[in-house]
């Protein structure tokens, strides 16, 4: 973020990241701290969903924090990112756990004005998102163990 935030602001680009994992609100705070240390004024939206139920006899009760004992949260798609773009037009969107291709599909839905019932467009966007997500693996530009010969 130290390097990307100034560039994104300069170019008017929204950074959409899944770096929030289990603590998207903590990641939001960290980005705001970094921006403040750089003298930047940014808006940071958080797209996350937490569903907690009290399971009888389990000893588990709903947590007040979004960081939950036992790691209960959902794996999201593009849908919660789009309202963040529409409503806030932020500089940064941080998500909790999310499908990697959704990081690409959501801006396509937003920018191209797709509806959620346009299945052909959504399928094409999902495919493009997945190809972008895995581009290094697809092109041979990624090797998990540099320096090791097989």
**Percent of the chain surpassing pLDDT 90:** 61
Look-up of token digits 């990624």:
142
Q: Quick one: DSSP state of residue 50? A: -
Tens of pLDDT, residues 74-116: 788 999 999 999 999 999 999 988 999 999 999 999 999 999 9
Please measure the distance between the N-terminal and C-terminal CA atoms of the chain and give it in whole angstroms: 35
Q: What is the mean pLDDT of residues 118-146?
A: 84
Decide: helix, strand or coil at residue 138: helix
Q: Give buried/exposed letters for 49-61 (b at 16+ CB in 10 A, else e).
A: ebeeeeeeeeeee
Tens of pLDDT, residues 30-84: 999 999 999 999 999 999 875 554 444 444 444 444 444 445 567 889 999 999 9
What's the pLDDT score for residue 54? 46
Residue 22 contacts residue 73 (beta carbons within 8 Å)? yes
pTM (predicted TM-score): 0.78
Beta-bridge mates of residue 21? 96
Which of left, alpha, beta for 59 (phi over 0: left; psi -120 to 50: alpha)? left
């Amino acid at each position: 973020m130290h390097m990307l935030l100034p560039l994104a602001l300069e170019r008017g680009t929204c950074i959409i990241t899944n770096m929030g994992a289990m603590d998207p609100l903590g990641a939001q705070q960290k980005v705001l701290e970094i921006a403040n240390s750089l003298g930047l004024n940014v808006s940071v939206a958080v797209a996350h969903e937490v569903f907690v139920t009290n399971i009888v006899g389990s000893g588990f009760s709903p947590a007040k924090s979004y960081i939950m004992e036992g790691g209960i949260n959902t794996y999201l798609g593009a849908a919660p990112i789009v309202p963040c773009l529409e409503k806030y037009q932020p500089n940064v969107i941080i998500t909790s756990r999310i499908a990697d291709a959704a990081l690409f599909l959501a801006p396509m839905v937003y920018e191209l004005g797709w509806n959620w019932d346009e299945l052909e467009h959504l399928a094409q966007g999902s495919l493009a998102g997945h190809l972008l997500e895995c581009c290094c693996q697809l092109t041979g530009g990624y090797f998990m163990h540099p320096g090791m010969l097989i």
